[in-house]
Structure 1
Amino acid sequence: MLAYAYRVTKYDPADRNDRGHYTGSEDTAGDHGEVEAAYLRAVAAFAEDTGIDHLVVREPQVPSLAHFGVEPPVDGFGLEGLFPSGQAGFHDGAEVQLDIALELVRVMLRDSGAWCRLEAEDTFAVHVGWDQYLYISSSRPCQEALARTRELGLFPERLDASPYVFETEEEEQVIQRPGDDDFWAELHGAVAVGRAGILEETHVEGASRWHHLTSDTIEPVRVGLAPRARLAVWPPLSTDVDAVLRTLPADGLVEGVWQDDDGTIRSAIADEHEFPELVARMSRAHAAALLSVYAGERVPLCTAVMPDNDGVLRARWRTAPTPSDRDWALRRPTA
């Protein structure tokens, strides 16, 4: 945890009640103007004071089932033009220059699209919360940046830590399985005997890509995965699409996954009001499946997280362990 953490906002601490709640007249929405620019200049000042000129994207997210931002969502989650490779460049571990990091902060202040932690390991971090709350942490006290932030009309307040510091869940004492050579070798075997057939790739929180697995496609799929993606392996889709659709529940949320005639795997999450459209889309499919979206009911065959190119698993997010994952952990050699 970094030694110096500050909450930087446009809200005057004098207008907070004894519980710390703001009671003043400032709007919680961003102005897309001078105040927003002041926030960005404050981040730049802290980065300069710390000696930082680039940051790393951690735990990227995009809206999925619902949008709760103050402002309406925007096309492309606000990421258009920020990465040379398009949205594919927005992944865990992506290193960005400070100017791009500031544009990501702008996107998050407008709370209409993408979100992530921006960090330099053991040195600096920028986290954006709801309602124009900005949290900046540094290994240095950043006295010059504090003075500059006040000059900009913002209010930096010292905290013990940012509330958005990443915390590893300890509920499951299962070592995270990496998507290494052993994982892919086992996947080849599962596909060969017809046990596995599709791969769910979660490249950012809130969005997934689906891949059809055959002995011929496994390696191309592996090569094309996003860095540090979370993986979930599922059984093959059923070609009896009518039978699949007959299992559609009366209400609630469900995810439909289907394969078009061209081999593309698509998915959509729907509730009972959207079931007719989902059925219409899936009824024309070559093969399909219905998956629960509820924790505890959504259990793939196995899961993994992709390591970096040097084989080290640096992603901090985890998959929910399946029975197969627990078996793997028990078989794993101990040092």
Structure 2
Amino acid sequence: MLLNSWRVTKYNPLHRNNEGSYLYDDWTSFHEVGNKVSLSDYLRIEEAYIQAIGAFMNDMNINTVYIHALELSSNEIQIQHASDFTSNLWIGKGISIEEVKELAKLTLREAVWCKLGIKNLFFVHFGYDYYMYIGTNSNCHGARKSVKSLGLYVEEFESPY
């Protein structure tokens, strides 16, 4: 069992009601690019999420994580031109930090859904509406500070996944 679990998001916790619901009408999906969010703003936030995962992995001295759950959306994978990458993924496979970054991008763009981790050490889970959950067996003070400097919010929170 991991000691620490955080929700890492673009959503300011000051804008939540007492039940934890976010109060503002904000974009929640890659599919809202061009409608509710510009491509450049989307890409900036997406990159911050990907860098956040890297910050925690670096803080933990982790170079490889394992795919614990994986769902693929073939239409979205084709749209993202990621068939070659995703054809080499399976549950249980160890993946490098560079592969984690690519897989996170595809997950944030809703082409795949996955859970990544190392048992009793580290995990990354992705939720609906652009929520991400990270858990570690360390307090990762440096990573949390780094993620906040990227403009994201890090809240103590148990992953629902």
Give the TM-score normalised by the residue count of structure 1: 0.43
State the Cα deviation string for residues 125-148 of structure 1 (Å, max 9, x = none): 001111110001111100001111
Q: Which runs of 4+ in 1 moved over 6 A?
A: none
Aligned partners of 1:7 and 1:136 also within 8 Å:
yes
Aligned partners of 1:108 and 1:115 also within 8 Å:
yes
State the Cα deviation string for residues 276-318 of structure 1 (Å, max 9, x = none): xxxxxxxxxxxxxxxxxxxxxxxxxxxxxxxxxxxxxxxxxxx
- Per the alignment, residue 21 of structure 2 pairs with 21
How far, CA to CA, are the matches of 2:62 and 2:79 in structure 1?
A: 28
The structural deviation recorded for 1:121 is 1.7
Matched letter for residue 153 of structure 2: F
TM-align CA RMSD: 2.0
Aligned length: 151
How far, CA to CA, are the matches of 1:117 and 1:78 in structure 2?
A: 21
The structural deviation recorded for 1:102 is 1.3
5 Å-filtered alignment, 1:168-207, equals none
The structural deviation recorded for 1:77 is 7.4
- Per the alignment, residue 12 of structure 2 pairs with 12
State the Cα deviation string for residues 88-125 of structure 1 (Å, max 9, x = none): x21111111011011111111111x2222111121110
Q: Which has the higher helix share?
A: 2
- Per the alignment, residue 160 of structure 2 pairs with 163
Aligned partners of 2:69 and 2:116 also within 8 Å:
no
1:94 corresponds to 2:104: no
Aligned partners of 1:2 and 1:139 also within 8 Å:
yes
Task: From the superposition, tell whether residues 16 and 73 of structure 1 become closer, same or farther in structure 2 (CA, over 3 Å).
Answer: same
Q: Which has the higher contact order (CA 8 A, sep 6+)?
A: 2
5 Å-filtered alignment, 1:274-293, equals none
**Partner SS, residue 52 of structure 1:** coil
Determine which of 73, 78, 83 is the counterpart of 1:80: 83
How far, CA to CA, are the matches of 2:58 and 2:83 in structure 1?
A: 26
The structural deviation recorded for 1:81 is 3.6
- Per the alignment, residue 145 of structure 1 pairs with 143
How far, CA to CA, are the matches of 2:4 and 2:121 in structure 1?
A: 10
How far, CA to CA, are the matches of 2:127 and 2:80 in structure 1?
A: 17
The structural deviation recorded for 1:39 is 0.5
- Per the alignment, residue 34 of structure 1 pairs with 44
The structural deviation recorded for 1:29 is 2.2
How far, CA to CA, are the matches of 1:153 and 1:79 in structure 2?
A: 28
- Per the alignment, residue 306 of structure 1 pairs with none
Aligned partners of 1:11 and 1:24 also within 8 Å:
no
How far, CA to CA, are the matches of 2:60 and 2:154 in structure 1?
A: 16
Aligned partners of 1:9 and 1:155 also within 8 Å:
yes
- Per the alignment, residue 121 of structure 2 pairs with 123
**Partner SS, residue 48 of structure 1:** helix
1:3 corresponds to 2:3: yes
How far, CA to CA, are the matches of 1:151 and 1:77 in structure 2?
A: 29
How far, CA to CA, are the matches of 1:149 and 1:59 in structure 2?
A: 25
Matched letter for residue 140 of structure 2: C
State the Cα deviation string for residues 50-99 of structure 1 (Å, max 9, x = none): 111111111211248xxxxxxx83418764342xxx61x21111111011
Aligned partners of 1:46 and 1:145 also within 8 Å:
yes
How far, CA to CA, are the matches of 2:125 and 2:81 in structure 1?
A: 17
* Sequence identity percentage: 31
Structure 1: state its 5+ residue gaps.
65-71, 165-335
**Partner SS, residue 147 of structure 1:** helix
